[in-house]
Amino acid sequence: MHQKPPFPNCVFVTGIGTDIGKTVVATILCKALNADYWKPVQAGNLEQSDSVFVSSFGVQVHAEAYKFFTPASPHHAAALEGKSVSLQQISLPYTPNRLVIEGAGGVMVPLNEQEVILDLIVCLKTPAIVVSKNYLGSINHTILSCEMLHAAGVEIAGIVFNGVSTPSSEEWILNFTDLNLLGNIAEANEISKEFIDAQALKMREQISLHYTI
């Protein structure tokens, strides 16, 4: 009988683009795994940041390494404030719990003039979870994101599909990438505590098909 590997203690949630739903997925993942949350770089919306959103569901949140006022790619937001992002200044926070890390946008979003989110994932030495969302072109964007991660030597723990399901697209992506399906997050008009808890229960069951938790 094939023995399931343990789920990683630390994972990096990245997306195939912007507004894919990474923060909601990260929140659900934290609840499913009783994990902490950390967003190393936040650009824009500081009063209602992703960390504030996640903490509102009772998740332990660690402080950002960088926070910028402008809602833009981190390299541009930092430049507007006369600052720059250095990977050497970003280190994993200590926690005895599992840790879910959320990136900014997709894997090729620039952090500074030379480095992108992918470099941060490599630097932190964490497996990735790819969040996909069904739209015209999402197959291409999902495959390219996975290929970039693989090329950089990043282990991909699995894929989460967010929003309205398109089974034919999802099946094609899973067959092509040979990656684990970690969850299908339902479309919701309101992201309530009840919604998060229900989706977390489903995600925990799905993850347990592939990993020991």
Residues annotated as catalytic are: 39
Sequence length of the chain is: 213
What is d(CA 197, CA 202) in angstroms, rounded to the nearest whole number? 9
Amino acid in position 185: I
CB 210 within 8 A of CB 4: yes
**Helix/strand/coil for 144:** helix
What is d(CA 79, CA 82) in angstroms, rounded to the nearest whole number? 5
Which pair of structure tokens corresponds to residue 193? 């505590």
